[in-house]
Amino acid sequence: MSTEIEEIEDIVSELVEQNGDNTTYLRVRGDVMQVVGIYNDSIVVVDSSLEPKNMDVVLAEVDGEMVIKRFHQGKNGMVTLLPDNPNYESVEITQDSDFQLKGVITRTINTIFASR
């Protein structure tokens, strides 16, 4: 039995899609979004040109802290950032919150084997 493998050159540009200055690559520390495949030490691709839709995974700064969570905007316009890991709390964005949406996470790059 054989496995079909695409040539690396053909998929690298797709994996590390670029949208000019709107694309950022960041290494994640923590496990808040491990359910969607964002693990401690993952690299995420963030596109700051995209407007988030409900349940998109986003990078945001809330009161000076960078967070990765799911975006939810209710009918009343209130934004809540939701974790996928039940060990973490949701963050409700209020008028008093210092909130800045940094972008939508479009891809992750994960290490399969630990360093040897």
Q: What is the pLDDT along the chain (116 residues), one digit of tens a residue?
A: 555 655 555 555 666 666 778 888 899 988 888 888 888 889 899 999 999 999 999 999 999 999 999 999 999 999 999 999 888 899 999 999 999 999 999 989 888 776 65
Distance CA 43, CA 104 (A): 14
Total-model pTM: 0.81
The residue extents of the domains of the chain are 8-109
Q: Which CATH number does the domain 8-109 belong to among 2.60.120.260, 2.10.109.10, 3.90.550.50, 3.40.50.720?
A: 2.10.109.10
d(CA 112, CA 101) in angstroms, rounded, equals: 30
Buried b (16+ CB within 10 A) or exposed e, 17-52: eeeeeebeebebeebbbeeeebeeebebbbbeebeb
- Hunting for tokens 């809330």 — which residue is that? 62
